[in-house]
Amino acid sequence: MFLKGKTALVTGSTSGIGLAYAKAFAIEGASVMINGFGDADAIEQARAGLAQTSGAAALYDAADMTKPDQIAAMVERCHAELGGPDIVVNNAGIQFVSPVTDFPDDKWDAIIAINLTSAFHAMKAAIPHMRAKKWGRIISTASAHSLVASPNKSAYVAAKHGLAGLTKTVALETATDGITVNCISPGYVWTPLVENQIPDTMKARNLSRDQVINDVLLAAQPTKQFVTPEQVAAFALFLCRDEAAAITGANLSADGGWTAA
């Protein structure tokens, strides 16, 4: 349990990739703060499970990732009640698909705020605590779309490219502080969010479920396999090890070969 005595704060972690991160950190003994929206009973069940797994504390914070003051308050609460945060994972994200000429202004603003700007505010609030300990790990969930584009995803692609640039900049600013700053760029990950898109895509394109999975979702992934949340979490866990101390400012792909082409 190499993270015993450390604290991890994971945004957007009540399900999917975010919850997989939290579980991976808990297995290694870390105290964990999760964040996000969802059913209150399910969130409490997840929180209690993390505490049982880690043998340490686990808290939930409902901070809205579009509100800078709530993000800062969440980081300070983590520090006050759990210590740290030693590890911050910027994972909160939303998606909306539309041609740029029809893209609603409010959807653009929300995607940039949640997928990009929230990471800035979390880093800004957490880094002073990490510097005080001379140790920290900042990991952001980017996407294959931080490296390549797809049509009708202007806000998402812009946000993920921005997150990769933010990662590089903050890595340079913290390079002598014992802090590493990296992002992980998965391809399509099998989560409820992805699974729930399948029926609408079947209807819109008059395709079967298998056709949607293989010809739409996995069209760009040479392995023809979804990335799993556990694989992404394992990547993050490695970045927290002392052996990964030389890895900083990196955009690390886990996309089944998508960006190799």
Number of neighbours of residue 102 by Cβ within 10 angstroms: 7
Q: What percent of the chain has pLDDT over 70?
A: 100
Number of neighbours of residue 70 by Cβ within 10 angstroms: 17
With contact defined as beta carbons under 8 Å apart, do 136 and 86 qualify?
A: yes
Three-class DSSP category at 74: helix
Three-class DSSP category at 99: coil
Residues with a known catalytic role: 156
Three-class DSSP category at 11: coil
Can you give the residue ranges of every domain in the chain? 7-188+227-254, 190-225
Max Cα-Cα span within the chain: 57
With contact defined as beta carbons under 8 Å apart, do 79 and 85 qualify?
A: yes
**Distance from C-alpha of 44 to C-alpha of 11, rounded to nearest angstrom:** 16
Among 94-98, 203-207, 218-222, top mean pLDDT goes to: 218-222
- pLDDT over 80 (residue 193): no
CA distances from 17 to 173, 187, 200, 220 (A): 28, 12, 22, 20
- Write phi, then psi, for 119 (nearest 5 degrees): -65, -40
Task: State the average pLDDT over residues 190-213.
Answer: 87
Fold of 7-188+227-254: Rossmann fold (3.40.50)
- Write phi, then psi, for 245 (nearest 5 degrees): -65, -20
pLDDT in tens, 39-94: 999 999 999 999 999 999 999 999 999 999 999 999 999 999 999 999 999 999 99
pLDDT in tens, 12-29: 999 999 999 999 999 999
